[in-house]
Amino acid sequence: MLLFFQSILVYGLMAWVMTYYGHIAYKNQYPQGIEGVDRFQNKKLTFVSLLAKSYFIMPILIFCFFSAIRYKVGVDFGAYKRFFYEILNYGRVLDEGAVEPAFTYISKFTAAFTDNHYLLFFILAFLQISFIYYALRKKTYALVYLGIAIMLNFTYHSLMNGVRQNIAACAFVAMIPLVLEIKKWPWFVLCVLAATLMHKSAVILLPIGLIVYLILQRGTLSISIQLAIVAICFIFMDKIDTSYIENLFLLGEKAGYSAEKADAYVAQELTDKSFGFWGYTSYLVYITIIIYSKKILLWLKNDTLFTTMYNLFFISICINLLFYNNFGIGRLNYYLTIFQPIIMSIMLFYTYKVKTSLNTYIHRGVIIILTLRFIMLLYSTLSSVNESILYKFDLFR
């Protein structure tokens, strides 16, 4: 029971800090509200200047600190910890091909300064969250509820599971402006090639980027069509014949997951699951976002970046629904699911700022649903062998 309350305290603190500083960032960008003056519009906020702002760096540091000292949070925890100490002692990972060069370089860099893994885990978490903050540095309305969305929608645990792949996915969020303009595509291609050094599956970002440029930035489908597509995906959930892929787990291997790792995920992660309470509440929230999408798009003056991110979010929830228990496709879908907390955060901000009775009920209702189901999830893990969800400290071990 101690771990239950400890988890609520730690995850709650992380969400609160990110929300608190998200409000400060928003107030600094829009002192009179989003309809007023945008103080960041004509400013060039580089990555370095981003880290000089307390309302950006403080939530990043808190996120990284608790991610660095976690213990068995995320299925990958033990493997990453072992990899570091193998590199520290032998100069390489003993399981040849288990990690890409960028991870090895970062591990060797941290090993030059310290003989424990905390700095490595801090840097890995920093690469994840800083890319997202950099991408949203001039869209601070998306940062206000980002912490709540990351913590309560299970995104944090996804980040702590597929760490290397999620670094590439978070980098993709920051690459979106490069994708939208053809003249910036050489930079996009270089960024994707760099991302493959962290996780080889990042090569899939090239065709995704092409789809974004040609189709997804141009607008969203009507709400009725979107809802119909979601309904169709629900009807055909896990019913599509994927035998043409030759071997489903081979797809996972191509994405950087061996058959042994795939088995470990199936055993420890929520990969072999029925569409129960968590699934229904998730899609209740997603459908609410779909219903609000056109209003939000109009409110943001048809912002191309939001349009693109929303379409990637929509595709992610459809893929997740259609291939609910497909490990390989689920892993590749990481490059799209990373947009879910961003879009959820924007929806929560919209229902908070646009004051109507309905919006107030929706805003509070979504947060209550997300909070209660997350608490239920934490409580349910107390009696199971799943250690990857409850927060534990790795100090003095």
Asked if 164 and 99 count as a contact pair (C-beta separation under 8 A), the reply is yes
Asked if 68 and 122 count as a contact pair (C-beta separation under 8 A), the reply is yes
Rounded to the nearest 5°, which phi and psi values hold at 393? Answer: -85, 145
β partners of residue 393: 70
**DSSP code, position 326:** -
Half-sphere exposure of 346 (CA within 13 A, CB side): 28
Show the 3-state SS of the chain: CHHHHHHHHHHHHHHHHHHHHHHHHHHHHCCCCCCCCCCCCCCCCCHHHHCCCHHHHHHHHHHHHHHHCECCCCCCHHHHHHHHHHHHHHCCCCCCCCCCHHHHHHHHHHHCCCCCCHHHHHHHHHHHHHHHHHHCCCCHHHCCCHHHHHHHCCHHHHHHHCHHHHHHHHHHHHHHHHHCCHHHHHHHHHHHHHHHCCCHHHHHHHHHHHHHHHCHHHCCCCHHHHHHHHHHHHHCCCCCCCHHHCCHHHHHHHCCCCHHHHHHHHHHCCCCCCCCHHHHHHHHHHHHHHHHHHHHHHHCCCCHHHHHHHHHHHHHHHHHHHCCCCHHHHHHCHHHHCCHHHHHHHHHHHHHHCCCHHHHHHHHHHHHHHHHHHHHHHHHHHHCCCCCCCCCECCCC
Write the pLDDT tens digit of every residue in 204-260.
999 999 999 999 999 999 999 999 999 999 999 988 766 554 444 454 455 555 544
pLDDT attached to residue 254: 52
Distance between CA atoms of residues 72 and 148, nearest Å: 22
Q: Is 256 helix (H, G, I), strand (E, B) or coil?
A: coil
**DSSP code, position 93:** -
325 alpha-carbon distance from chain centroid = 19
Sign of CA dihedral 228, 231, 233, 236: negative
pLDDT attached to residue 261: 54
pLDDT attached to residue 325: 85
In single-letter form, the type of residue at position 307 comes to T
Any idea which residue has 């072999």 for tokens? 272
Distance between CA atoms of residues 139 and 25, nearest Å: 10
220 is written with which tokens?
């969203």
Asked if 60 and 129 count as a contact pair (C-beta separation under 8 A), the reply is yes
Single out the residue of 113, 167, 138, 118 nearest to residue 42, CA to CA.
138
212 is written with which tokens?
């974004």
Distance between CA atoms of residues 349 and 249, nearest Å: 39
Distance between CA atoms of residues 162 and 98, nearest Å: 13
Write the pLDDT tens digit of every residue in 14-49.
999 999 999 999 999 999 989 899 999 888 889 998
Q: Is 389 helix (H, G, I), strand (E, B) or coil?
A: coil
Tens digit of pLDDT at every position of the chain (397 positions): 889 999 999 999 999 999 999 999 999 999 998 989 999 988 888 999 888 999 999 999 999 999 999 999 998 899 999 999 999 999 999 888 889 999 999 999 999 999 999 999 999 999 999 999 999 999 999 999 999 999 999 999 999 988 999 999 999 999 999 999 999 999 999 999 999 999 999 999 999 999 999 999 999 999 999 999 999 999 999 887 665 544 444 544 555 555 445 545 544 444 446 788 899 999 999 999 999 999 999 999 989 999 999 999 999 999 999 998 888 888 899 999 999 999 999 999 999 999 899 999 999 999 999 999 999 999 988 876 567 899 999 986 5
Distance between CA atoms of residues 160 and 180, nearest Å: 29
Distance between CA atoms of residues 256 and 277, nearest Å: 31
pLDDT attached to residue 386: 61
Single out the residue of 24, 117, 17 nearest to residue 63, CA to CA.
17
Estimate the crossing angle of helix 205-214 against helix 185-196, to 10 degrees.
150
